[in-house]
Amino acid sequence: MRFRPVGVFEAIRLRRSIRDYLDKPVEPEKLERLLEAARLAPSARNEQPWELVVVTDRKLRARLVPACLFQRFVGKAPVFIAGVVDPTKKWAPADLCIALQQLALEAVELGLGTCWIGAFSERLVRFLLGVPKNRRVFVCMTVGYPAKIPPPHPKKPFAKLFHLNRYGRTFGNFTRGS
């Protein structure tokens, strides 16, 4: 199964955490488009208090595997991205995640897969990538061509996630996802 060009909602529906990648580099023009999708993301006061360290070097990606708690797919993905934030900016982590989610959805459009990585040693990733001490590595992501696409995980019912006007008041007649 391969991703195909889609609209935004379809990309949201199709996005999966990909942990099995083809040994195929991501073309520079596709990588640039992903980064442009991130760059265009909204942020609090349009500060864009984040930066991305994009790793395509195979040897460096291999060195990142222990820093990511030995998740082997990290070294096999053709692209590793470290999301770096300015810790003095309160909304920086949220702004970074908005940017990376836009990148992840554009990846679906381009036939690529991504996986968010929250389990890592910030100290080791910072050291390996030369991130200064006045910045935080908040989250990481892999990018590449999926070798296989896992089935969707079940999601909570609509009524368990959304409240209308006040906590505990469900949307009533909405049956989607229930």
Domain ranges in the chain are 8-146
Instruction: Dump pLDDT digits (tens) for 63-95.
Output: 999 999 999 999 999 999 999 999 999 999 999
Instruction: Dump pLDDT digits (tens) for 26-57.
Output: 999 999 999 999 999 999 999 999 999 999 99
State the pLDDT at residue 176: 52
| Amino acid type, 98 | I
Residue 164's φ and ψ, nearest 5 degrees, are -105, 115
C-alpha triplet 12, 119, 43: angle, nearest 5°: 50
Instruction: Dump pLDDT digits (tens) for 154-163.
Output: 999 888 888 8
CATH H superfamily, domain 8-146: NADH Oxidase (3.40.109.10)
The total number of residues shown for the chain amounts to: 178
Nearest to 40 by CA among 95, 92, 89: 95
Q: 81 has which bridge partners?
A: 54, 141
